[in-house]
DNA sequence: GCACAAATGAAATAAATATTCCACATTGGA
DNA sequence: TCCAATGTGGAATATTTATTTCATTTGTGC
């Protein structure tokens, strides 16, 4: 049981937070995990059940009880009460509540409004894209990339972060890839090494960086299968691509969101790795 | 049993309040008593047990269940959830959005399901972050960066795409910046050129790339103001940063979303440029 | 590399809590 | 005043949820 139950077990949340922060470095793995989860998601702890919280924090319910004991509480329920106290009296009046609601809508200004603007644009993008997902098309695109020896990644400027992430994900999934974005100007040479066994993934949105388009086209001309992610049927990438996926992003303050394409770019590597795994299983 | 269960049973507190107010005069004695108690002590209803609430309202537990049924809920627990939602730190119409997310086709499989999984994770991230935006904190962070001569960008691995985008945005907005991610290993040297007039923006999420942390800490030790974007109070970045912004991303298939942090990273450069423009106007 | 202690996962158990049921009371209409 | 419909209290039951236990794993000092 806990070392010194008496001195511990704070009854108010702030003391508890302090205690947890102090203790955490000295806690064993799973208990530290709980500590982190508890401070990161205090609302969940206040309302959840031991099982639901344990699930979310990826530990066993018993670990929660141990954690509570460690801190000097009688059990998880006792600890939970402190988390609940923290929420009592929040939003006490109807008026407050309405004011809070309005605040989030229009009253905010400055930086917060800007952030909210981008968040909204991102959300719209996701929604729009979600309505457009075409399973068959997606499946063909993944098929092409899964069949490739090396996947060449083509993107510039605004789209570059997308392939940067893919390169990272492919790396983790051990999928051979080549990010064509060297700062030393030998991109064309690298690109020219691609052959029919490889494939390219090109991403570009209006106004379509000339480099990206040129490289994608060169690949296509050389017989390399090209999968494109772009924003319109009129995109130059749509022309030269073997398959192309449409993503239309919303914009805010003149900057287009990247959230939908980013979600797609997170899914693709996983889908490709999965497809390869299955193919391997068959052989 | 309840008259018309379908049309009733609101999922958010304000509708429920309205419904109760309407119904109250037409309710039998004990139920009216519960109605009054519930609206007078919503916190108790949120956290109490059926027995404790019944005791406080001077009715039987079964009366609470009847009350809930009368309103169209499955039972007291179901009703109680609405009272709990009210206290959760969720401002936007959280329930609605989550319901909307669930609407999406469940039967899909293969690649499409994967994409949808990532889209959902992204939306959840945006939603969660949207409720956490702290205008004052944000304002201080922007202030620090807007006051800097050169902004040093620190991020590795998963977070790298974020700063890659920022470098691009800063470039377009003509904000001096330096992306510390050179492939030639001279990062420490570059970082050591920063001074008090500059500032650093460090981004790292659990498990916190050692390089990022080390560089951020070095900057902080050298007296360079550091703004951090990270995911928890336990993050090593939270320690050493002058100000830190919390972004908790949802994950899917073991890959965490980037959408909320990306939205933030799109907003920051614009906010910084704007802050500088205004400062210039004054001089 | 071994022995010991600490931590952990999973299942069994205990406790609590919500819900149902039914006998009884109350109300409103003939 | 009686009847039927509706509402109510209280106990019995079902369900959910927390806690304990114990076998197994993991880490640590020698």
What dihedral angle (degrees, nearest 10) is formed by the CA atoms of B239, B241, B244, B249?
-70
Domain termination residue (choose one: B53, B87, B121): B87
- Which has the closest alpha carbon to B252: A40, A271, A275? A271
Q: Which two tokens stand for residue A194?
A: 């691609």
Residue A4 pLDDT: 42
CATH number of the domain bearing residue A31: 1.10.10.10
Domain termination residue (choose one: B87, B120, B148): B87
Domain termination residue (choose one: B87, B113, B142): B87
User: DSSP class of residue A159?
Assistant: G
Hey, of B111, B133, B159, B183, which one would you mutate to test binding to chain A, going by the most A CBs within 10 A of its CB?
B111
| Cα(B33)–Cα(B78) distance, integer angstroms | 19
A41 contact residues in B (CB cutoff 8 A): 248
Nearest Cα of chain B lies from the Cα of A220 at a distance, in angstroms, of 24
What is the domain count for chain B? Answer: 2
pLDDT in tens, B247-271: 989 888 778 899 999 999 999 999 9
- The angle formed by the CA atoms of residues A218, A221 and A226, to the nearest 5 degrees, is 75
SS3 content of chain A, % helix, strand, coil (to 5): 60, 10, 30
Candidate from B32-36, B38-42, B193-197, B254-258 with smallest mean pLDDT: B193-197
B261 within 8 A of A266, measured Cβ to Cβ:
no
Mean pLDDT over each residue of chain A, to the nearest integer: 87
Clarify whether residues B148 and B255 are in a common domain: yes
Clarify whether residues A133 and A273 are in a common domain: yes
Please indicate whether residue B196 or residue B98 has the higher confidence score (pLDDT).
Answer: B196
Task: Give residue B69's region: left, alpha or beta (phi > 0; psi -120 to 50).
Answer: alpha
| Cα(B123)–Cα(B127) distance, integer angstroms | 6
Please indicate whether residue A94 or residue A165 has the higher confidence score (pLDDT).
Answer: A165
Clarify whether residues B55 and B135 are in a common domain: no
Interface touch B258/A266, C-beta < 8 Å: yes
| Cα(B198)–Cα(B151) distance, integer angstroms | 6
Clarify whether residues B149 and B76 are in a common domain: no
| Structural domain range at position A73 | 13-87
Clarify whether residues A79 and A173 are in a common domain: no
Q: Cα separations (Å) of B231 from B159, B236, B245, B258?
A: 12, 10, 8, 12
Clarify whether residues A252 and A149 are in a common domain: yes
Clarify whether residues A72 and A135 are in a common domain: no
Clarify whether residues A59 and A191 are in a common domain: no
* pLDDT mean over B120-128: 91
Nearest Cα of chain A lies from the Cα of B197 at a distance, in angstroms, of 22
B108 contact residues in A (CB cutoff 8 A): 135
Mean pLDDT over each residue of chain B, to the nearest integer: 87
DSSP A161-214: HHHHHHHHHHHHHT--EEEE--TTS-HHHHHHT--TTSEEEEE--TT--HHHHH
| Cα(B223)–Cα(A238) distance, integer angstroms | 50
Nucleotide nearest to A65 (CA to C1'): D19
pLDDT in tens, A44-72: 999 999 999 999 999 999 999 999 999 99
B244 within 8 A of B234, measured Cβ to Cβ:
no
Interface touch B114/A161, C-beta < 8 Å: no
For residue A152, the number of C-alpha atoms closer than 13 Å in the C-beta half-sphere is 29
Q: What is the ipTM of this complex?
A: 0.82
**3-state SS class at A48:** coil
B13-16: list long-range contacts, CB under 8 Å, 24+ apart: B13/A97, B13/B42, B13/B82, B13/B83, B13/B85, B13/B86, B14/A94, B14/A97, B16/B71, B16/B82
Which residues, including other chains, have CB under 8 Å from residue A195's CB and lie 6 or more apart?
A222, A223, A224
Clarify whether residues A261 and A129 are in a common domain: yes
Residue A31 pLDDT: 95
Interface touch A47/B88, C-beta < 8 Å: yes
Nearest Cα of chain A lies from the Cα of B282 at a distance, in angstroms, of 17
Look at residue B248 and tell me if it is in a domain.
yes
Residue A56 pLDDT: 94
B182 contact residues in A (CB cutoff 8 A): none
User: DSSP class of residue A127?
Assistant: H
Q: Which two tokens stand for residue A205?
A: 């949105």
The model's confidence at residue A181, banded by pLDDT at 50, 70 and 90, is confident
For chains A and B, CB pairs below 8 A equal 188
Residue A2 pLDDT: 39
Residue A107 pLDDT: 56
Task: Give the number of other CB atoms < 10 A from CB of residue B221.
Answer: 10
| Cα(B187)–Cα(B101) distance, integer angstroms | 43
B31 CB below 7 A from strand D atoms:
yes
Clarify whether residues A36 and A130 are in a common domain: no
Nearest Cα of chain B lies from the Cα of A197 at a distance, in angstroms, of 22
Residue nearest to nucleotide D6 (CA to C1'): B28
**3-state SS class at A228:** strand
Interface touch A263/B115, C-beta < 8 Å: yes
- Mark the nucleotides of strand D covered by protein, meaning any atom under 7 Å from a CB: 6-11, 16-21, 27
Residue A283 pLDDT: 63
Residue B267: which of A103, A115, A133 has the nearest Cβ? Answer: A115
Hey, of A52, A84, A266, A272, which one would you mutate to test binding to chain B, going by the most B CBs within 10 A of its CB?
A266
In this prediction, what percent of chain A has a pLDDT beyond 70? 86
């Amino acid at each position: 049981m806990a070392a010194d139950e008496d001195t511990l077990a704070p009854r108010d949340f702030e003391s508890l937070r302090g205690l947890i922060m102090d203790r955490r470095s000295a806690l064993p793995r799973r208990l530290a995990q709980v500590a982190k989860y508890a401070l990161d998601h205090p609302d969940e702890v206040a309302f959840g059940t031991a099982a639901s919280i344990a699930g979310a924090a990826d530990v066993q319910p018993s670990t929660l009880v141990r954690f509570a004991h460690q801190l000097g509480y009688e059990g998880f329920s006792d600890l939970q009460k402190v988390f609940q106290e923290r929420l009592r009296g929040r939003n006490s009046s109807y008026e407050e509540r309405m004011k809070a609601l309005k605040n989030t809508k229009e009253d905010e200004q400055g930086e917060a409004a800007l952030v909210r603007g981008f968040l909204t644009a991102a959300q719209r993008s996701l929604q729009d894209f979600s309505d457009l997902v075409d399973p068959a098309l997606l499946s063909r695109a993944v098929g092409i990339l899964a069949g490739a020896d090396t996947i060449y990644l083509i993107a510039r400027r605004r789209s570059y972060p997308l392939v940067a992430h893919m390169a990272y994900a492919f790396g983790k999934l051990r999928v051979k890839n080549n990010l064509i974005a060297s700062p030393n100007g030998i991109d064309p040479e690298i690109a020219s090494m691609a052959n029919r066994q490889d494939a390219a993934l090109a991403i570009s949105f209006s106004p379509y960086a000339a480099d990206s388009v040129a490289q994608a086209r060169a690949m296509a001309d050389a017989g390399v299968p090209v999968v494109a992610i772009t924003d319109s049927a009129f995109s130059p990438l749509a022309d030269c691509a073997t398959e192309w996926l449409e993503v239309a992003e919303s914009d805010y303050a003149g900057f287009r969101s990247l959230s939908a394409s980013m979600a797609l770019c997170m899914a693709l590597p996983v889908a490709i790795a999965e497809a390869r795994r299955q193919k391997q299983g068959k052989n």
